[in-house]
Amino acid sequence: MTMRMHVAINVTELESSLAFYKAFFGAEPTKVRENYAKFELEDPQLHFSLNVRPYETRGVLNHMGFQVENTEAVLQMKSRLQATGLVALDEMNTTCCYAVQDKIWVHDPEGNAWEVFYTKEDSEFESARVSGDESVCCVTPAVEQNEQSECCSVTVSAAETTQSTGGCGCSSK
């Protein structure tokens, strides 16, 4: 399975961050929107995104993950994680970060979000769901045991995930 490391950070102002990372990486971004930019680097293999979001309470790190080559690789990783006792949340055929993706999420003990995703196609929309005036990219908040995800209405228990009324293309186990 081929994987590309993914790191997403929060920024308060896109243009100055874009200028810095263009110079730092020596590369142009592969996607730029009003509140988002993405670099897909080959050396090192890195999928790096900038998300315009306030971060006073959550910090600059948005989430980390791995971009994989297809949906089957996402599902293979999900099976491996579940075999080790980790609960993985599905988001199949969801729109997030201006792309249609199949993905899963897990959270470490400190609440840091990790995703494994496959990008199926670009999208003109940031997210599949809009909360008020602010769009929400799915499942980045840490989901604790038996806590409801704001985005996908997924109830999580130690042994399973179930879907009640998904708003982001989430699916159950």
CATH of the domain at 125: 3.10.180.10
Is residue 151 within 8 Å of residue 139, measured between CB atoms? Answer: yes
Question: Does the residue 163 lie in any domain?
Answer: no
| CA–CA dist 150, 52 (Å, integer) | 20
Question: Does the residue 64 lie in any domain?
Answer: yes
Closest CA to 77 of 116, 119, 47, 114: 116
Regarding predicted confidence, which is higher, 170 or 18? 18
Closest CA to 117 of 89, 141, 143: 89
Regarding predicted confidence, which is higher, 69 or 88? 69
Average pLDDT over residues 75-81: 93
Residue 36, pLDDT score: 97
Q: φ, ψ for residue 75 (rounded to 5)?
A: -70, -35
Average pLDDT over residues 47-69: 89
Q: Angle at CA 75, nearest 5°, toward 73 and 81?
A: 105
| Structural domain containing residue 52 | 3-141
Question: Does the residue 86 lie in any domain?
Answer: yes
Q: How many domains would you assign to the chain?
A: 1
Task: Quick: pLDDT tens for 111-145.
Answer: 889 999 999 999 998 887 644 444 445 444 443 33
Question: Does the residue 15 lie in any domain?
Answer: yes
Please report, rounded to a whole number, the percentage of residues in the chain having pLDDT higher than 70: 73
Question: Does the residue 66 lie in any domain?
Answer: yes
Question: Does the residue 124 lie in any domain?
Answer: yes
| CA–CA dist 52, 86 (Å, integer) | 30
Question: Does the residue 28 lie in any domain?
Answer: yes
Is residue 157 within 8 Å of residue 141, measured between CB atoms? Answer: no
- pTM for the model: 0.65
Question: Does the residue 69 lie in any domain?
Answer: yes
